[in-house]
Amino acid sequence: MKLYTYPGAPNPRRVHIYLAEKGVEIPFQKIDIMKRENRQPEFLERVNPMGGIPVLELDDGSHIAESVAICRYFEALHPTPSLFGTTPAEQGGVEMWIRRIELNFMVPVGMVWIHGSPLTAAVMKNQIAEVADQNRKVVENYFGFLDGQLADREFLAGDTYSMADINALCTLDFAAQLNNLHHKPEHENLSRWHAAVSGRPSASA
């Protein structure tokens, strides 16, 4: 078993944080996405036809792609401590927030990255500045939404740290560090949450 990964990229980082929280160690193989190693024919044919990372290679040679899917695989192997909830209500709440973060936060941040970053200009030949501008506004509004939701809870899905927080942390840091999209000081609840989850040892995994 091994994980195809790239240090610092937001999607692989989700898996690294998850594994650190679980105390699970597996071999890693770096795939340099800046050199487009994940788009080479051998990788596409043998590992992931979609070209994305991370990808988990199992002992039988089969592969599981997509960050949350990989984490669910390990959750089945190592159910404690739970990061996807234990009761039906908890599991539903975690899943709700995973989807909210992916669709309403990660997608617009990704659009800013694709259409507004000089780092992607060489790959994205037809960057559309208006798309980046529109999605910057979506992200800025979502900071306020998250701040309001965190007013009465310690973590996104309630009182327990979960995969939803991992997703949100990686997206928030991706927005700030690579897209210059920062939440505001007046977002006190979001700032408190970010400091707490960033302070966990797993955050630097």
* pLDDT tens per residue across all 205 residues of the chain: 999 999 889 999 999 999 999 999 999 999 999 888 999 999 999 999 999 999 999 999 999 999 999 999 999 999 999 999 999 999 999 999 999 999 999 999 999 999 999 888 877 778 999 999 999 999 999 999 999 999 999 999 999 999 999 999 999 999 999 999 999 999 999 999 999 999 999 999 8
* Domain architecture of the chain: domains with CATH: 2-77 (3.40.30.10), 88-204 (1.20.1050.10)
Whether this prediction's pTM lies above 0.85 is answered by yes
Compute the half-sphere exposure of residue 194: CA atoms within 13 Å on the CB side of its CA: 20
Query: What are the C-alpha distances in Å from 75 to residues 20, 52, 72, 83?
Result: 13, 21, 5, 8
Rounded Cα gap, residues 71 and 64, in angstroms: 10
Helix H or strand E segment including 170: helix 163-179
Contact of 162 with 155, CB cutoff 8 Å: yes
